[in-house]
Structure 1
Amino acid sequence: MPSDDLTLAFSLQALEKLARPKRAFEDAATWTSHIGIVSSESSFIERRRVREAGYQQDFLSGPRSIEETLSSLRNHFETERYVFVGTDETDGVVETVPDWTFQSVTDAATAADWRLGTTSATGDDWP
């Protein structure tokens, strides 16, 4: 199977840790089969933030927990790998979700050559 046979889910918190989250998201979209954002935020907040940032994605979590969303995505998208990019706060999420691998945003940024940010999500670098 091709190396891009991957479903990639970012947490909103992980994207906030990046200096250029939209650029990183767009880069990841070039080497994944399916990409999107999952969050424990309310659907309204998640959708607003995604719309404002202009992310072009294949899925959102909707009114479900991150775990429920990842399980649903596993059943919806058939790819060789499933990777959840999150933060220290979300590192235990995939323990109960079969076939998903957790990747810290720090490790993902290093591997993909993305810069981590030094400002909060409300700073000038968001998105």
Structure 2
Amino acid sequence: MPSNDLTLAVSLRALDELARPSRALEDAARWTSHLGIVSSEPSFIERRRVREAGYEQEFLSGPRTIEEALTSVRAHFDTARYVFVGTDETSEVVTRVPDWTYQSVTDAAAAADWRLTSTIDADEEWPYREKTRFE
């Protein structure tokens, strides 16, 4: 049985690729110890996007790079595992941050049964479909 002694950091760009990012975060909160969002965007943009989307999280990256944010998160949360869910653009970040494992949003979505924006059928999801970045 997999351990839920896990800190999970998800990039904002990875959330953009999910058809239902809020539901994915709610799902992840059930099997993680700590869950947060990181981004390389300026902190005022990151905070605004997270607030407007209503995402629940324990931490944000703040005014720093993803690498710096992951290092800070690692120092604040003591768990058995640290996983960063990102996109191709952010895949190399964890090579410079001790203890973190990278998981592509595509692989994470497949493992957790989350839907990607490219796989959603508008008629199938109506009226419950969340707005995506393409609308």
TM-score (structure 1 length as normaliser): 0.93
**Secondary structure of the equivalent of 2:117?**
coil
Distance in 2 of aligned mates of 1:110 and 1:122: 21
- Residue 121 of structure 1 corresponds to 133
Q: 1:36-64: CA deviations, max 9, x gaps? A: 10000000000000001111110000001
- Residue 56 of structure 1 corresponds to 56
1:3 aligns with 2:3: yes
Report the RMSD for the aligned CA atoms in angstroms: 1.3
Name the % identity.
Answer: 74
Distance in 2 of aligned mates of 1:97 and 1:89: 16
**Secondary structure of the equivalent of 1:28?**
helix
Superposition map of 1:60-99 within 5 A: 60-99=60-99
1:38 aligns with 2:38: yes
Structure 1 stretches of 4+ moved >6 Å? none
TM-score (structure 2 length as normaliser): 0.87
Consecutive unaligned residues in structure 1, runs of 5 or more: none
Distance in 2 of aligned mates of 1:84 and 1:97: 11
How many residue pairs end up in the alignment?
122
Distance in 1 of aligned mates of 2:33 and 2:63: 24
**What one-letter code is carried by the residue in structure 1 that aligns with 2:77?**
F
Distance in 2 of aligned mates of 1:83 and 1:108: 10
Distance in 2 of aligned mates of 1:51 and 1:40: 17
> Which structure shows the higher helix fraction?
2
